[in-house]
Amino acid sequence: MAVARLSLVDFRSYRDASVAALPGLIVLAGENGAGKTNVLEALSLLSPGRGLRGSALSEMARDDGPGGFAIAARLADGTDIGTGTAPAAPDRRQVRINGAAAAANAMAEWLSLLWLTPAMDRLFTDSPSGRRRFLDRLVLALEPDHARQAARYEAAMRARNKLLSDYDRADPAWLDALEAAMSEHGAAITEARARTVSALQDRLALQPAGPFARAFIALENSEAAIDSPSLRAARARDATAGRTLSGPHRADLSVRHADKNQPAERCSTGEQKALLLGITLAHADLVADRRGARPILLLDEVAAHLDPSRRAALFERLGASGGQVWMTGTEMALFEDAPRQTQRLTISGGTLRPA
């Protein structure tokens, strides 16, 4: 999986920019605020969801632009994927694949993207919701249908919560239908997560000791299935709480430092970064085995908090494993140990240029 050309129109800091990309390692260097992360965010929007920042669509359009934006990519196999919004509907996402309108979830059939950002350095100490999003991105790379199941579960749960807000007048038959949908899609979500965690843990167990801490991962607080009778019995409780209190939306990803047998949240900042990198690299290997192509990796400021030996080891592993990897940094010097064939670009004034 690789992007051969990326074009941006009125997206974030870019009025009109394009770059021809090579299939291997790509470095984007520039000062803070130059727009490096904006390029990675644009790439992340070539998959279901709200991208690596999780922003509202209306926030992504250029401040002094017409109000909409467009992202277009030509993949290495010749497929064209585009997404964006129209000025008249800045919160409504449009997707086109090979010129035809498509649902956002359909993009997962064509591309798998994984990313690490500086904000994710707090993944192990923040709330479970961030870890669920991280886990679901891992699942999606292996099982593209996961996005559809999650969307339908969330839609049914929102509708149920709305009905329960006026519990005494809620239609029992409509609640039955919504709870049946939650049961069906919730079970699919949980089973897909369990398959991914199990397969990834098997892969992590085979990782040799080295510069990246080995992780032990497990799925927590996730029912195997939300059955309709249990949801029916919990209506009064959930109505009082104002939300559904059990289900896959309450699950968590548990991570431990395998060699220290220590919870990730108690590890040092450097160890937590190494754990995240180790999980991401092992998962990329797993995706390559399962889907026959490596996912695209988006690594924002990945070298900033790694010591020189870990940086060198990371670049060596990324170069040896193949696949397209987009990395950002404030200085090109941070990537001096990257393979010679690495594509190096500088960003300034909304323009990408060869370094």
To 5 degrees, how large is the angle CA 52–CA 214–CA 331?
A: 50
Residue 79 lies in a domain: no
Residue 83 clears pLDDT 70, i.e. is over it: yes
Residue 61 to residues 64, 86, 96, 298, 329, Cα–Cα distance (Å): 9, 10, 18, 21, 24
Residue-level pLDDT at 225: 57
Residue 304 clears pLDDT 80, i.e. is over it: no
pLDDT band at 348, cuts 50/70/90? confident
Residue 295 clears pLDDT 70, i.e. is over it: yes
Q: Give exposure, 233-260, as e/b (b: 16+ Cβ within 10 Å).
A: ebbeebbeeeebebbbbebbbbbbbbee
**Across 210-233, average pLDDT:** 82
- Cβ(12)–Cβ(41) below 8 Å: yes
What are the residues whose beta carbons fall under 8 Å from the beta carbon of 337, sequence distance 6 or more?
308, 311, 312, 315, 316
Q: What is the CATH number of the domain that holds 181?
A: 1.20.1050.90
Residue 85 lies in a domain: no
Residue 68 lies in a domain: no
- Cβ(187)–Cβ(226) below 8 Å: yes
- Cβ(45)–Cβ(69) below 8 Å: no
Residue 264 lies in a domain: yes
What are the residues whose beta carbons fall under 8 Å from the beta carbon of 260, sequence distance 6 or more?
267
Segments forming the whole domain that contains residue 211:
124-289
- Separation of alpha carbons 189 and 62, rounded Å: 36
Residue 136 lies in a domain: yes
pLDDT band at 314, cuts 50/70/90? confident
- The tokens for 289 are 């085995």
Residue 98 lies in a domain: no
Residue 248 lies in a domain: yes
- Separation of alpha carbons 156 and 140, rounded Å: 20
- Residue-wise pLDDT tens digits, 152-209: 999 999 999 999 999 889 999 999 999 999 999 999 999 999 999 999 999 998 877 6
Q: What is the 3-state secondary structure (H, E, C) of 26-85?
A: EEEECCCCCCHHHHHHHHHCCCCCCCCCCCCHHHCECCCCCCCEEEEEEECCCCEEEEEE
Among the residue ranges 65-74, 134-143, 202-211, 292-301, the one predicted with the least confidence is 202-211
- Cβ(303)–Cβ(10) below 8 Å: no
- Separation of alpha carbons 128 and 298, rounded Å: 22
- Separation of alpha carbons 337 and 189, rounded Å: 41
Considering its fold, how many domains does the chain have in total? 1
Residue-level pLDDT at 212: 75
Q: Mean pLDDT across the chain, nearest whole number?
A: 90
Residue-level pLDDT at 224: 53
User: What Rg do the C-alpha atoms of the chain give, in angstroms?
Assistant: 21
Residue 244 lies in a domain: yes
